[in-house]
Copies of this chain bind each other. A is one copy, B any other.
C-alpha cells in the first residue's frame, strides 16, 4: 500500500517523505493516521527537549547553538518550532533566518515549523505526531521550541523528556507569569543574555521559587539547575547540554525511564487528547455535512432558540445512541 511505503521511507530517513508527512500533519490531513500507526513501533528512541520562554528571550539562538553542539558530539538532531515568533517558523527578522541556515546543508539536522492552531486535533496533537515522525526517522535528539505562555505550550512540553525554561534578566513580571503556569514543568532554567544587568536578581528570584519545593528534592526529586548562558556568544551552552544529559541520566536512574509510552499518566493524557480531537473531527464533520449545524446557527440568529439548547439538540442524539448500543 502507498501508506506503508511512505512509512518505510520515513524509517529509512528519506527527507522528502518526512517533510511531506509533517506538512500533512500540520494541515490536518486525516490519512496520516495510518502512516503514524505504521511508524509507532519505530518510535521511542529519540531524546526530546522542550525549549520554552517569552518572545524575545533568545530561544532560537539557543536552539541554533544546541544543534551545533549536539552535532559536534556526533548526534543527529530534529528541530520543531511551534512558536509563532520563532525565526524557524518564519515569525522573525531576516537576519535570524539567515543565521539558522548554517544547518540547512547538514543531513544530520532536520528543521520544521508547525503552525496549526485551528485544526480539531490541536497544536499539541500535531506536535506529538511530528515528534513521532522525527523519532521514527532516527533523529537522536528532537528540540521543540514553543513560546512559553498558555495551556497549549504547557501541553506541548509535556511531550518532552527535558523541559527548558528560558528567561532574560530584568523580567520581573514575566517570572511572575512563569510562576503562575509553567514553573512546575521546568527541568532546567536558562538565564540567557546573562551579561545584562539584573542577572543576579533573576538568578536569586528563580532560586527562591525552586527552593519552595525543597521537600521534593530531599525525597530524591530532580532539582532544576539554573544556568547563566550567552547563547549569541556560545557561552555556557556546552554546560547546558551537559545538564540535559545529567537530567536524562536522572530519568533512567530514578526509574522514571525514557520511554514515555510505558508511563500510565502520560499515555492517559495523550490518549484523552487524541480521543477529543478525533471525536470533534468526526461529529462536527457529520453535523456540517447533514446541514444540522447550519440550521442550528440560523435558529439562534433568528432568536428561535438559545445556543445552550441548540447544543443539546445537536450533541445528545449522537451520544444517546452510542450509550444505548452498550446496553
In chain B, what residue has the closest Cβ to A123? B151
- Residues 307-326 of chain A: 1 if any B CB is under 8 Å from the residue's CB, otherwise 0? 11111101111110111111
Which residues of B sit under 8 angstroms from A309, Cβ to Cβ? 37
The answer to whether the Cβ of A117 comes within 8 Å of any Cβ in the partner chain is yes
How far is it, in angstroms, between the C-alpha of A91 and the C-alpha of B173 when the chains are bound?
11
Oligomeric state, in copies: 2
Q: Which of A211-219, A221-229, A237-245, A275-283 contacts B (4 or more CB under 8 A)?
A: A275-283
Which of A181, A303, A307 is the most central at the interface, judged by chain B CB atoms within 10 Å of its CB? Answer: A307
* Chain B residues in 8 Å Cβ range of A36: 306, 308
**Interchain CB contact (< 8 A) of A317 among B55, B274, B322:** B322
Asked if A318 and B307 make an inter-chain contact with CB atoms under 8 angstroms apart, the answer reads no
User: Please, how many angstroms separate the alpha-carbon atoms of A91 and B180 in the complex?
Assistant: 7
Instruction: Give the nearest-CB partner of A271 in chain B.
Output: B307
B contact residues around A177 at 8 Å (CB): 55-56, 84-85, 147
B residues near A100, Cβ cutoff 8 Å: none
Across the two chains, which residue of chain B brings its CB closest to A149?
Answer: B149
A268 to B263, CA, bound (A): 39
Q: How many A residues touch B, CB cutoff 8 Å?
A: 76
Indicate if the CB atoms of A315 and B149 lie closer than 8 Å.
no
- Nearest to A180 among chain B residues (CB) is B84
Whether A56 contacts B282 by the Cβ 8 Å rule is no
Nearest neighbor of A84 in chain B, beta-carbon distance:
B180
Partner of A319, one of B85, B286, B317: B286
Residue from B123, B174, B284, B297 in contact with A264 in the complex, judged by beta carbons closer than 8 Å:
B297
> 0/1 per residue, A106-131, Cβ < 8 Å to B?
00000000000100100100000000
Contact A181 B84, CB 8 Å, known A33-B308, A174-B56? yes
A3 lies within 8 A of chain B by Cβ: no
Contact pattern, A 76-89, Cβ under 8 Å of B = 1, otherwise 0: 00000000110000
Contact yes or no, B262 A301, CB < 8 A: yes
A287 within 8 A of B: yes
16 contacts across the A-B interface (CB closer than 8 A): A40-B307, A54-B54, A55-B174, A56-B176, A120-B276, A123-B151, A149-B149, A261-B300, A264-B297, A267-B301, A271-B300, A279-B315, A283-B319, A283-B322, A318-B318, A318-B322
Q: A55-B149, A56-B172, A85-B177 are in contact. List 14 more A-B contacts (CB 8 A).
A: A40-B306, A123-B151, A147-B149, A152-B152, A261-B300, A271-B296, A271-B300, A271-B307, A282-B316, A282-B319, A317-B322, A318-B318, A318-B319, A319-B322
